[in-house]
Chains A and B, each alone.
Chain A
Amino acid sequence: MNVSLALAGNPNSGKTTVFNALTGGDQYVGNWAGVTVEKKTGHLKTNKSVDITDLPGIYALSPYSPEEIVSHDFLMGKGNEKPDVILDIVDASNIERNLYLTTQLAETGIPLIIVLNMMDIVERHGDRLDAKKLSEALGVPVFEASALREQGIATAAERAVEIGSVKHKPYHARINVKFSETTQAALKAIIDVASANMPKTRPQIHFAIDLFERNGTAQSELGLSGLQMESIERIITDCEKALGDDSESIIAKERYDFIAWVLDTCYIKSERENFSDKIDRVVTNRFLALPIFAAVMFLVYYISVATVGAIGTNWVNDVLFGEWIPAALEKGLTAINAASWLHSLIVDGIVAGVGAVLGFLPQMAVLFLLLSLLEDCGYMSRIAFILDRVFRKFGLSGKSFIPFLVSTGCGVPGIMAARPIEDESQRRITIISTTFMPCSAKLPIIAMIAGGLFGNSAGVAFSAYLAGIASIILSGLILKGFKKLKVSQMPFVMELPSYHAPRALNIFRHTWNQLKAFIIKAGTIIFAASVIIWLLSNFGFENGTFGMVDSEHSILSYIGRVIAPIFIPLGFGSWQMAVATITGLAAKENVVSTLSVLFSASSGMASHGNIDTVLSSHLSAAAAYSFLLFNLLCAPCIAAISAASRELGSKKWTAFAIAYQTGFAYVISFLVYTVWSAIS
């Protein structure tokens, strides 16, 4: 018999870590709220007949924001899916707020098991939480766990499977929130009015509370008549008058009263200031926060691009792809007597193209390792809090920072991470501007320019990151001026997770996932693109006949020369740079591989060194930086464009986004090139 378990809980309570531990999966885990925006399904690794669904984190069971709708609909059994048991993942270090959702989950009638996650943090804070007493007070099974250490989760899952295997489950929810007498009377009266319309799939109290809170979904789901709605409205209004508050606040307050009563029996909070609070006093300080953030990010780029990462990249570029592999291939091709044009295709095309991209792997590895460290220990979520103050002035909110942060890996999930932003205009602005952040595919371009023209300068690499943030801020300011993007400021509430020592497995998994994808892309898209670019740059018409020609007379040079004039005002009007920019639309790494293939044959890269050094003889510093900026800020790759199109939900908005990004990149690059050239 198949058993379906749902992992529900507050954002950042550790659901995805539990999911990975139970399924053996490697879903992306982030130490901030809002990582999961869609449900994910897997099988229990010890029992394949058990389905486990990881739901997006929610604070309450209300169907408003997109991720709340996903969780709400799944738990309500919409779309023919309904879990047999809910594993409620509770962040024990924030138990009061987490239990609010628990009380709501219990009312769904689905058997519930509480997993008290992060018990190690509770202990570290000096707090005391008695799981046995909590279980007695709530009337549901409670298991202590630490998802990070994979402790206690398997036992909770076993119990959940046991409960889920029982065919005819009675309503398991025994958490009876003790509402005040007035509220109870109102709820009972609502049940009396609407009981005939209430399906047997859920307890009547669940529908009654939904109606009491004037939840429109419940009203339409039950198909109540106008007369019934009038009676219910009268009941609610009378109760509101009696208690002097609105119905939603009454329910919320009484739930928290109940939680306080429960916690009185089992929870003792330590009075001492905890470790996270001490750190936060410095890193979120009104004046120190931004300089600390800038210093931290500079250090990250200094280590990854200028020092440690550069050592690895120089070796891969100069020795591995510069000497060993070309020499070995040349030797092999000569031995089998392969045609000379094949030598060129393999060495100047494939090895130059794929090698140019893979050469930056060591820098990427160090960069992602450091970013994962900052993320996993909890620092990155503070940045959202810090930047909220800045973003707010420019039509964005701190919530937008999460998409921007995710976009440093890849724009596609970054765009999707904009879903929890409630304000439609803010969400659109975030989607349009999130790909300004330098993603992993753009890192080779940054490293190429920083390495070739600025002596591996960490400042140039760091400035690319700053340019991304500055463009986002500037775009917020520009875009909120559009009539259809009028922003209504919503309060930004974000939970700051406790700092914890980064877990090596999490960091390596995150870094490896990024690198693996990069290697796969180099071996597939970049490989194919390098072959195509080599063919187009080595074949063409000369003296009326088609055949192998000098790259200046190739098909690609003709195409490039048509496009190139557009880029003359930006300082990089050669056909090679124009072609590289266009191929970047398929995948941004293509910019580097295309240049490498094009210059490999024409400039004799082997005798001059790598692509970055060849570039220095081709571009001025101003033109190179303008080229870098344009490729960082213009329309992203096709994958990100289609993700934006899906999330914006309209072709018109997608076209606007592409036009805006490209136009913005053009203007900024033009200004930078003009001013830089004038000064120098």
Chain B
Amino acid sequence: MNIGTIVVIFIIVLLLALVVVYLVKQKRAGRCASCPYYNNCGKSSQCDDEGLR
């Protein structure tokens, strides 16, 4: 496996890890990861309390 392949694989794995971290953070913040309203959904008081806005 050449260095170019290793670098590209590393970047993809890193991006996937970032996606997982992002989704976990969203979940912990009480937001629905796939809701386009995010803090506009009417349940944002929770996000405000946690200083996430």
Contact = CB atoms under 8 A, between A and B. Distances in A.
A614 B32 CA distance: 33
A524 B45 contact: no
Interface residues of A, number: 48
A41 interface: yes
B15 A527 contact: yes
A516 to B, nearest CB: 8
Contacts of B53: 25, 42
Interface string B20-53: 1011000000001111111111111100110001
Given A28-B37, A524-B23, A525-B23, A642 B32 contact: yes
A412 B41 contact: yes
Contact of B42 (A38, A339, A518): A38
Contact of A41 (B23, B33, B49): B49
B36 to A, nearest CB: 3
A37 B20 CA distance: 31
A528 interface: yes
Nearest to B40: A28
Given A28-B42, A38-B45, A42-B53, A410 B37 contact: yes
B19 A412 contact: no
Interface in A232-283: none
A516 B36 CA distance: 8
Q: How large is the interface on B (under 10, 10 to 19, 20 to 34, 35 or more residues)?
A: 20 to 34
Contact of B4 (A28, A337, A412, A637): A337
A643 interface: yes
A328 interface: no
A31 to B, nearest CB: 15
A413 B35 contact: yes
A593 B36 CA distance: 18
B16 interface: yes
A39 interface: yes
A341 B28 CA distance: 36
Contacts of A412: 32, 35, 37, 41
A336 B7 contact: yes
A339 B12 CA distance: 14
A413 B41 contact: yes
A642 B3 CA distance: 44
B33 A525 contact: yes
A478 B7 CA distance: 57
A480 interface: no
| Secondary structure class of chain B's binding surface, majority of residues | helix
Contact of A513 (B5, B40, B44): B40
A587 B36 contact: no
A416 B7 contact: no
A345 B36 contact: no
Contact of B34 (A336, A514, A521): A521
Contacts of A25: 53
Interface string A392-411: 00000000000000000110
Interface string A356-372: 00000000000000000
Contacts of A637: 34
A195 B24 CA distance: 53
A221 B12 CA distance: 60
Nearest to B49: A41
Contacts of B22: 524
Contacts of B12: 345-346, 350, 531
Interface string A335-355: 011110010011000100000
A436 B7 CA distance: 44
Contact of B37 (A36, A339, A413, A441): A413
Interface of A: 25-28, 35-42, 333, 336-339, 342, 345-346, 350, 409-410, 412-413, 416-417, 440-441, 513-514, 516-518, 521, 523-525, 527-528, 531, 586-587, 637-639, 642-643
Given A40-B45, A336-B3, A412-B37, 15 more contacts: A25-B53, A27-B39, A40-B42, A337-B2, A339-B2, A342-B5, A346-B12, A409-B37, A416-B41, A417-B42, A441-B34, A521-B34, A525-B23, A525-B33, A639-B32
18 contacts: A26-B40, A27-B39, A35-B42, A38-B43, A41-B45, A333-B8, A339-B1, A342-B8, A345-B12, A346-B12, A410-B36, A412-B35, A412-B41, A413-B37, A513-B38, A528-B19, A638-B34, A639-B35
Question: Lowest 9 A-B CB distances belong to which pairs?
Answer: A336-B4, A517-B36, A28-B40, A639-B32, A412-B35, A639-B34, A339-B5, A413-B41, A338-B4
Interface of B: 1-5, 7-9, 12, 15-16, 19-20, 22-23, 32-45, 48-49, 53
